[in-house]
Amino acid sequence: MKKQKRIAILTGGGDCPGINGVIRGVAKKAIIEYGMEVMGIEDGYDGIVNNRYRKLEYNDVSGILTLGGTILGTSKTANPYRYAIKQGNRLRFKDMSETAIRNIKNLDLACLVCIGGDGTLGIAHKLFKNGIPIIGVPKTIDNDLIGTDITFGFDSAVWIATEGIDRIHTTAESLHRIMMIEVMGHKVGWIALYSGVAGGGDIILIPEIPYDVNLIAEKVIERNKKGKRFSIVVVAEGAKPKGGDIVIQRIVKESSDPIRLGGISFVLGRQIEKMTGLETRIVVMGHLQRGGSPTPFDRILATQLGTKVVEMIEEKAFGNMVGIRKNSLIKVPLKEVAKGYKKVPLNHPLIKAARSVGTCFGD
């Protein structure tokens, strides 16, 4: 009798709409078409280190397409190669990769499916080099993964941010205020660019284009003189002034990416209010961008990516991430994904279009 294949799925890093759609796509196709046994690893790589998992039956993944978050849980801090251990008030790091690899091998997996962003997939690449059969799925609201045109979660985040900007417009115009809307975007400005353009932002600030606060103030004053007594400023959390630095909210020592940003809008808002004499208010979209039900686009993309993963497992195309390029599903080597971030090109058509309608980028 042919041995039943067993696969496992984990979700790492920040949560975002669409993860459950991928879990559903992988599990349903694996069970229906190939009779595979599907395991769910709990809380990302923390579940690998501590051997926490459960079997996923068909009914476990039925009805989850519209749910936000992840039914498996996740972790932004767990890294088997630099695992944080607290001893009283002291924090130390230990290489737990041998334990993680042993636990994976004990599960006798045909493949470990890792759903995540650059951090999760960077760890996945290391595990693959250590002999674990792995396939990655691109998950991040930031849309910053190399090798794929788009990541699931991005469209949902843009919709949420755009709706926020739309609602801010009415109060900004009514009270003649400058409204600063801070959106996520640590190292890249995809969310700020897309939601800023979609929401009619007058000023859009992204990490890729360091800003000059004087030019921003001039833009606001110019609009005011023309009778536009309000301005909408959309700013990515990682935006920074020319010759300056990012605004750090706090440091999470146990995380592999310890810097947590947030607050640039408050700093910049105070500067602009002082320079223009116009009342300024701040709205931080924050984790609203990660929450709630995924858009139809992300549900469709998640389903496509999840089902493609099972085909890649059958082909033994390990060490790759499934990606999207020119509307086609492709295989991207994890070593390419792990090289860095996909930044917004300065000649991006959307930047050109925004400039053409008078949008200021602070430069």
Catalytic residues: 142
Query: How many alpha carbons fall within 13 Å on the CB side of residue 312?
Result: 27
Cα distance between residue 310 and residue 107, in whole Å: 18
**Sheet arrangement for strand 37-41:** 53-55, 37-41, 6-11, 111-116, 134-138, 320-325, 328-333
Residue 197: partners with Cβ closer than 8 Å, 6 or more residues away: 204, 350, 353, 354, 359
Cα distance between residue 99 and residue 112, in whole Å: 16
| Cα angle value 267/269/272 (rounded, 5°) | 110
Instruction: Output b/e per residue, 236-249; b: 16+ Cβ within 10 A.
Output: bbbbbbeeeebbee
CA distances from 231 to 261, 272, 287 (A): 24, 11, 24
- Burial class of residue 52, CB neighbours in 10 A (0-12, 13-18, 19+): middle
The SS3 of residue 115 is: strand
- 288 secondary structure, DSSP code: G
DSSP E strands in 45-116: the ranges are 53-55, 83-87, 90-94, 111-116
DSSP E strands in the chain: the ranges are 6-11, 37-41, 53-55, 83-87, 90-94, 111-116, 134-138, 178-183, 203-205, 231-236, 248-251, 259-261, 280-284, 320-325, 328-333
Report CA 45 to chain centroid distance, whole Å.
17
- 77 secondary structure, DSSP code: S
- 10 secondary structure, DSSP code: E
| Structure-token match 């200021």, residue found | 360
